[in-house]
Chains A and B, each alone.
Chain A
Amino acid sequence: MTQKISLCSVSLGVEGMTCGSCVQSIEQRIGSLNGVIHIKVSLEQKHATVVYDTTFQSPESLSEAIEDMGFESTLPVCAT
């Protein structure tokens, strides 16, 4: 069985982080989600760059997961 994997990268705005431990908990929790390949959260720029498998995740579902953690998340204005 061959599987087609299509990867996508998205940059989400994240509001409400103030320190390194906020960043860490987001990276850990979102990074362990199904279909998330890589995540990098920037505290200074207030965004999270996520590389994900489009079969499992979408920008909306990722943003929702961040909101679920108690942070405010915004979808990118233009897709990357």
Chain B
Amino acid sequence: MTKHEFEVNMTCEGCSGAVSRVLNKLGGVQFEIDLPRKLVVIDSDKDVEVLLETLKKCGKEVKYIGTK
């Protein structure tokens, strides 16, 4: 499993809740959300592109930071 770090423009618990719901729907991922720092760390074997597309579904700005 690789840890990928993303910066997602989340502003409230509603945003982070939406992010966790889409990730749960995707399945096969473990993740941590750091709302104050706007970070989402995903532990998964999936492609970065797949994760990026999933995060973008929430309609927020997403930036891939890199592996951790």
A residues touching B (Cβ–Cβ < 8 Å)?
16-19, 21-22, 25-26, 28-29, 68-71
Contact = CB atoms under 8 A, between A and B. Distances in A.
A17 B11 CA distance: 11
Interface string B50-62: 0000000111100
B15 interface: yes
Contacts of A69: 18, 22, 57-59
25 contacts: A16-B17, A16-B21, A17-B14, A18-B13, A18-B14, A18-B17, A19-B11, A19-B12, A19-B14, A21-B11, A21-B15, A22-B12, A22-B18, A25-B15, A25-B59, A25-B60, A26-B59, A29-B59, A69-B18, A69-B58, A69-B59, A70-B18, A70-B20, A70-B25, A70-B57
Contacts of B39: none
B59 to A, nearest CB: 3
Contacts, number: 46
B14 A16 contact: yes
B12 A70 contact: no
A28 B59 contact: yes
A29 B60 CA distance: 10
